[in-house]
Homo-oligomer: A and B are copies of this chain.
Amino acid sequence: MDRLKEKILQEGRYLGNGILKVDSFMNHQIDPILMKEIGQEFARRFALHNIKATRILTAEASGIAPSLSLAMALQIPVVFARKNKPVTMADKSFTERAESHTQGKMVDLTVSSAYLTPQDKIIIVDDFLASARTLKALVKIVAQAQAQLVAVGAVIEKSFEGGRSALSDLNVPIESLATIASFDDDKVNFA
């Protein structure tokens, strides 16, 4: 993912406190050419692990673009956990609470039971793998549904925040497309 790393170097801005702003191509504006490549690269890597998934699970809003791109590559549905349960979601649902790093508050992630079943093999995808708080909430939702987690994908990993080891007991492949080992002032150091 050279194009992704170039984008991070050219357009990413380090705001301090471990927060990298990637608003110009992923979290506010989306570069559709890069996003298509992101989905294809996830698909290529999961194929190397012989992953056969039935659904992708992510969280709104920033997880939707990379997840949809992967869903287009794999031709399987993507389900995005809602942060504000809409009135249209009247079914039985699974909810887990997570702290949002960029919004500084707790959010409830909710998924309708109609779209996560015990027969499902799930890939969880999100924009960042940092402390893995959101990802762990999604993992718990998969467990609530008695579905099988088969892989985790994150576009950008901040390896210094420990999320990967927090997820290691899941024993599934964890793929990130660009891994940041540290920040020096405003300079990004890839792993």
Residues of A146-169 whose CB lies within 8 A of B: none
Number of copies of chain A assembled together: 2
At the interface, is chain A mostly helix, strand, loop or mixed? mixed
Residues of A85-127 whose CB lies within 8 A of B: 86-90, 102-104, 111-112, 114-115
Task: From B15, B30, B65, give the contact of A88 (CB < 8 A).
Answer: B15
Contact of A78 with B19 in the complex, beta carbons under 8 Å: no
Can you list 25 pairs linking A and B with CB atoms under 8 Å apart? A15-B87, A19-B87, A23-B88, A23-B112, A23-B115, A27-B86, A27-B88, A28-B79, A28-B80, A28-B112, A29-B77, A30-B78, A30-B80, A31-B77, A32-B71, A32-B72, A35-B68, A60-B60, A64-B64, A65-B68, A68-B68, A68-B69, A87-B103, A87-B104, A88-B102
